[in-house]
Structure 1
Amino acid sequence: MKEIDSIKDEIFKVLRECRTAKGREELGMFLVEDDDVFTAINAGASVCDIVVIPEFAKAKPAGLQGLQPYVMKKAMMKKLFSGGKLPNIIATIKKKECRLSDFTTKKFILVMEGVQQASNIGMMMRTAEGLGVEGIVVIADGITELYSRNVIQASRGSFFRMPMALADRGQALAFLKKNAFTTIATSSHTDKSLNTYTVPEGPIAVAVGNETNGVTDSILDAADDIVAIPMQGNIESLNVVVSAGIVLYAINSA
């Protein structure tokens, strides 16, 4: 195994760039750590370079069989990860996004608009996968970068299995209309309760929005149905992941 022992090493430079949003955008790659490396490989992701610490390589984990990783001592790894627990293995992965046209045959999708917190994005991917969603349309306007460490780790592997298509708001709405999706949004300002909502036949798109303001008026105006999640007590709203999970569960179990 070749050792990376200098910050001037070209592989190290790429790894360092992939730690920043700007670097990920310019290189078209992102960084994954520990178990996510093997999840990405098993999901068929396009892996560029794999780097392990010597102690991990000596343990000869089954997941490394057939791979040709580089070795990097902990002292060098600390130059990439200055705080917290150091990963045993890292890898660079090529970005891969679906096109809206890849979603024309899907029957149940999530539309994510303006979600800001990386952990919410990742948890929503995980929730969507668990509740039968076949793909996520991410409206690019104002959303947090998808390839950050926090998004990937919060998804618990769903990031690599859930098809995602990035589009602007106009493109997304036009696609949903053209392909006869029933778009469902949530709002507290409606008398239509999720409890009594009858899920229509045909493809369904559930739209979720910003943690503070919800979906935009553009989405609400384009939605075929707007439903309210019934709540008790003095609660006015729920966390966006919780709200999405409730609606997705209701539709998936209808």
Structure 2
Amino acid sequence: MSAIAKDSPTLAPRPSGGVTQSVKDSLVVAKRNLIRMTRIPEMILFGVIQPVMFVVLFTYVFGGSISIGGSTDPQRYKEFLMAGIFAQTVTFATAGAGAGIADDMHKGLIDRFRSLPMARGAVLTGRTLADLVQTTLTLVVLAGVALLVGWRTHENIGKVLCGFLLLLFLGYAFSWIGALIGLSVRTPEAATSGGLIWLFPLTFISNAFVPVNGMPTFLQHVAEWNPFSATVAGARELFGNTMPGVPKTVTGAWPMEHPIIASLLWSALIIVVFRTLAVRKYRSATA
């Protein structure tokens, strides 16, 4: 018996930690969510329609009535506006991320994932990566629509691509906020509401749709220290859409003086904080 036991091969336990294992598990979960998206094409379709409506409505309804640097030229407003619309689009994907995770929780899928020998953060990382892919597709379509309505960039292709990467980095950071919300509520409907209720003031008290210098003084300070504003200003700079006559900052805020660096720092900080909180919540919520 001892000889048989000695000669019998033993199965090595599957590692449950480590960076390599975590990456593999995350990619598996991301693939699962991407396949699910392709089987429900209306998820992508409805995700595209809303930002396209914002582009068309803001361009043609407000384009000739808002003064940008002392001019109401619609073309100036188009170039001022688009970075804000792009940033709004990537951040509004937060609600979808939260609703998707809440739906998985409600159906018990998260509990099944938890029972598998996989990295604990992989479920959430895979979900946020899949959402990032969907957001990228939406942003590509939206950029095409923006070009059709007259938006133009004035920098080389490398800087323009960096502008879009800056936007996507913010969107990925905000998806972790959505993940935490999705784990904290009981239904997908609550996750959608919870994911949008704070986004509206965040996006509108910013430099996205109107210049900050027209706001009350206390809102100017809020807007210029808003992470959303830093990304919008950074994207405008990389697109070559900064407007003559529109000051970079009216309060002397550091993020507006260095918007690209500030945007990267804000996004990285949001990822570190909310990924930590979301993974911790995932462990306790599915226990």
Is the radius of gyration larger for structure 1 or structure 2? 2
Q: Under a length normalisation based on structure 2, what TM-score does the superposition of the two structures give? A: 0.26
Structure with higher strand content? 1
Larger relative contact order (Cα-Cα within 8 Å, sequence gap ≥ 6): 2
Q: Under a length normalisation based on structure 1, what TM-score does the superposition of the two structures give? A: 0.29
Structure with higher helix content? 2
